[in-house]
Every structure is written in structure tokens, then in C-alpha cells.
Amino acid sequence: MEKFIRLTGIAAPLFRANVDTDAIIPSREMKRVSKEGLGEGMFADWRYSDVANRVENPDFVLNRAPFRQAPILLAGANFGCGSSREHAVWALKDYGVRCVIAPSFGAIFQGNCVRNGILPLVLPEPEVAALVAAAGPTPLTIDLAALTVHSADGRTLSFSIPPADREMLLEGLDAIGVTLKRLPAIKEFEGAYRTRHPWMFA
């Protein structure tokens, strides 16, 4: 997985609460059994005024300068709620988003981000609102090692993230590989578990 250490880029404001994964990638845009090429369908219903012909909606933030291809999104509370589709994260990734800053995230979406090298960065709502107010051509810098955000208006904000998630992102680790190192412990658990709950294995 691609590592996430430090990122400098434009942050695009999409400050609505409860943006669900159907909105991030509509079902009909999930056309192939593949993670690739989903960026085009990202936010399709908002981004295009004519979805079938890919006619851009000029009012949508990511269709406007300087926010086109922004690698950072400034989102509202409960971003990524709804359907578990990991396609939402693959679409963001394919488009070039590497970090979403929001007051809170849908739980499954948040886990999916970490597994795909996207940083789900939680800041209190007023701080996200301040970043939204200051959003423009000046880039933000996010430093995952230092756990800081340097805002466009020159402030430094700190954030926290579970250490395991941080390590996974910083090192670009493969989650299955990490767990398989614990296989002896899993096998030992399994043996005892089978004895305790034999009915499950009958």
C-alpha cells in the first residue's frame, strides 16, 4: 500500500453533513469487478449535470478552480455513512484524494480509508469550519508523523489518530500480512475456543 507521511495540497470544501457512500460513488458507477478507474464516477450525481454524457456541473466545488483534483477534502460530520462499498474509497483514491478532514466519519468508511492509504483526519467541527472558511488557493500541509495540520491561514492544528492506523498509513503496511504474523496465537485461540464452544464445530 502507498505510504502516507506528509501531504501538501489544496483542500476542497464539501462541508455537508451525512454525505453517504452512495453519493460518493453511485451504485451504477460501480461497473466492473475492479478497484481501478472509479475516479470518473466519484460524486457523479453532483459533479455532472448530465451524468451519461459526463457534462460537468460548473457549480460543483471540484469543477471549480482552484479545487479541481484537490487531494484533500474538507467534509461535514458523518462523512462516508451508509453503504459499506469500499468503492467509495477506491473512487476517491483514483481521483487523487489522499486525505479527508471531517468532524466524524462513517465507521466502515473510516476503516476502508486506512486500508487504502487515505488519511481520515478528525478535527472538531469548528476547526473544520474555519478551514472551510479559509479554503482557497493556499495549500494545507498535513504531517502524519507530527500529527499536525498547517492551515492556509498560518495556524498549526494538532489531531490524533489510533496508533495502529497511523502505523499502517506511515509504513504502508498490508493489514493481512500484519495479522498473519500472529497466526500461532490465532491457532492457539482456535483450539481453546473449539473446546469451549464445541457446538459451533459440530
Q: Does 37 bind other proteins (CB under 8 A)?
A: no
Nearer to other proteins, 10 or 76 (CB): 76
Q: Which three cell numbers stand for residue 88?
A: 467509495
- How many C-beta atoms lie closer than 10 Å to residue 89's C-beta? 29
Q: Which residues contact 46 (CB under 8 A, 6 or more apart)?
A: 23, 57, 60
**Window contacting other proteins (CB under 8 A); options: 58-66, 135-143, 149-157, 185-193:** 185-193
The stretch near other proteins (CB under 8 A) out of 59-67, 137-145, 148-156, 158-166 is 158-166
Residues 146, 121: Cα–Cα separation, whole Å: 13
Identity of the residue, 104 or 151, whose beta carbon is nearer to other proteins in the bound complex: 104
Q: Which amino acid is at 120?
A: P
Alpha-carbon span 45 to 42, nearest angstrom: 8
Footprint on this chain of other proteins (rule: CB under 8 A): 16-18, 20, 22-23, 26-28, 30-35, 45, 51, 76-78, 81-86, 89, 104, 106-109, 111-112, 115-116, 162-164, 175-176, 179-180, 182-183, 185-186, 189-190, 193, 196-200, 202
